[in-house]
Amino acid sequence: MSTTQETTFQGKIDKGLKIEPRDWMPDKYRTHLIRQISQHAHSEVIGMQPEGNWITRAPSLRAKMVLIAKVQDEAGHGLYLYSACETLGITRDELISQLHTGKAKYSNIFNYPTLTWADIGAIGWLVDGAAIVNQQSLRGTSYGPYSRAMIRICKEESFHQRQGYEIMSKMANGTPEQQEMAQDALDRWWWPSLMMFGPHDLDSAHTSNAMNWKIKRETNDELRQLFVDRSVKQADLIGLKIPDPDLKWNQETRHYEFGEIDWDEFWKVINGDGFCNKERLNNHTTAHTKGQWVREAALAYAEKRNNGVNHE
Ligand code: FAQ
């Protein structure tokens, strides 16, 4: 690495220009991005499982169609993100192998079970809501392919968020049993959703580099606060109660203050010991193994086409 290259690279970042795949970049920037983008991609794909679990039990044809479309969108998000990650010089096989061996993480949130239909509402409202807050910020990230993927993903996530909020709002205004289910789902998904933003800034190993390189445009705590401020108002509107006795409006800061997150639970879940970690990874590994013949067939077809053999 020459100092000139390093200076040019940081100069571009400081000016708000994008770094593109063929540009020179420090190895640490590259590995930081591979880690973050691949974990993001794995989250999208593993995130299909908790909701996929409810496709066959959706309460109406409309609800089923909307849910199928949403789950399919998540697969698409995974694909854009894997492609963005591959531009950094790592193969899809290596990325999947890192997921299967536990080297690469995926979002804590997908290790919780979906027990009732209200959980599908809570995921759309809170999980997609948290994902949007984070991803809107990442539209301004310094790596071009990641930033462009975020712009497209955000458009689809906002439909997902509305789909979830609609389910919650219907249930919160429904029969006493439906209201109870909606509140119960909020009670179970609230704290894990706050954990999605990662550890407090002071405990976040990667934030300092991520901010210097403008990979992150806002810190974990800043984004978490934005999410809390938005969600409390949305819960109020449909008559649900945020399960936090310490939650209160601070007139001076014009933000909600909220209680402490259970960080022991967070670290346990992200290190493989959550309620559904084993099931989620087993499902992925099995599907990947069963899909081997599809990948081989697709590659063989592509190779034949490239060699000019036309089967049509
Ligand atoms: N879960 O130093 P930091 C979605 C790890 S997409 C698991 O603060 P960083 C769509 C972190 O990796 C949801 N692990 O790390 C959808 C690191 O460990 P490492 C996914 C977490 O990267 C909706 C260690 O803790 N979104 O939901 C988590 O600067 C519905 C120290 O943490 C993204 O991935 C966590 N929540 O900040 C799909 C967004 N938080 O790697 C289906 C992109 C932290 O050294 C249905 N990612 N860790 O082993 C980011 O913005 C960042 O990576 C953060 C973490 C903010 C997640």
145/109 Cα distance (integer angstroms): 25
pTM of the model: 0.96
Tens-digit pLDDT profile for residues 187-214: 999 999 999 999 999 999 999 999 999 9
Burial 257-293 (b: 16+ CB within 10 A, else e): ebeebeeeebeebbeeebebbeebbeebeeeeeeeee
Residues 6 or more apart in contact with residue 4 via CB below 8 angstroms? none
- Is the distance from CB of 243 to CB of 79 less than 8 angstroms? no
Tens-digit pLDDT profile for residues 150-191: 999 998 888 999 999 999 999 999 999 999 999 999 999 999
> Is the pLDDT assigned to residue 58 strictly greater than 70?
yes
Q: Out of 66, 95, 107, 276, give the residue to mutate to test ligand 1, the one with the largest number of ligand atoms within 8 Å of its CB.
A: 107
| Residue 311 confidence class, pLDDT cut points 50, 70, 90 | low
Residue 200 Cβ inside 6 Å of ligand 1? The answer reads no
- Is the distance from CB of 120 to CB of 67 less than 8 angstroms? yes
Residue 95 Cβ inside 6 Å of ligand 1? The answer reads no
The CA 39 to ligand 1 mean position distance, Å, reads 7
| Residue 312 confidence class, pLDDT cut points 50, 70, 90 | low
Is residue 248 classed as helix, strand or coil in its secondary structure? strand
- Is the distance from CB of 48 to CB of 107 less than 8 angstroms? no
The CA 17 to ligand 1 mean position distance, Å, reads 24
- Among protein residues, the one with the nearest Cα to ligand 1's atom 30 is 128
The CA 33 to ligand 1 mean position distance, Å, reads 12
- Among protein residues, the one with the nearest Cα to ligand 1's atom 8 is 204
Nearest to 275 by CA among 48, 47, 113, 50: 113
The CA 196 to ligand 1 mean position distance, Å, reads 6
Residue 81 Cβ inside 6 Å of ligand 1? The answer reads no
The CA 106 to ligand 1 mean position distance, Å, reads 7
